[in-house]
Amino acid sequence: MNSEIKHLKIKDIISRETAVSSDDGDIVYERIVDCIEGNCIAELDFSEITILTTAFLNSAIGQLYNNFSSSELNNAIILKNVADEDKILFKKVTERAREYFKNKKGFEDSANDVIYGS
C-alpha cells in the first residue's frame, strides 16, 4: 500500500504559472508515474497555476488511465489547491480518458470512419 506522500508542485515542475501545453503535461505525467511506481502517493499541488487547459490535463492525468486503473489512481493521487472553475476540467478529462482507454480500438475506428469514410 502507498504510504509516503510526495508533494509535486506543478508550477515548480513546469517552471511557469500556466499549465497549458501537452509537453508540460508529459513532464508532470512522468513525475506521477515515477511516484506511483515508487509506491508513494503523488500530491499534485496546483497553487499559483493561473491557467489550466484540458491539453495539459490530458497529457498529465488522462494518459495515466492507459496504464493504471481508476482505483489505483484514486489511491495514488491527491489533488491540492485546484481552483473551483478548474475542477470541471479534471472531471471531463478523467471521464473521457476512462472511456477512451476502456475501448481504445472502438474510438479509433469511429474516428477513422468519420475522417476517411466507412
pLDDT of residue 85: 92
Dist. CA 12–CA 116, nearest whole Å: 42
Per-residue b or e along 25-42, where b marks 16 or more CB atoms closer than 10 Å to that residue's CB? beebbebbbebbeeeebb
Question: Which amino acid does the sequence have at 78?
Answer: I
* pLDDT averages per 10-residue partition of the chain, 118 residues: 86 98 98 95 97 96 94 95 94 91 60 61
Range of the domain at 88: 5-116
Q: In total, how many domains does the chain have? A: 1
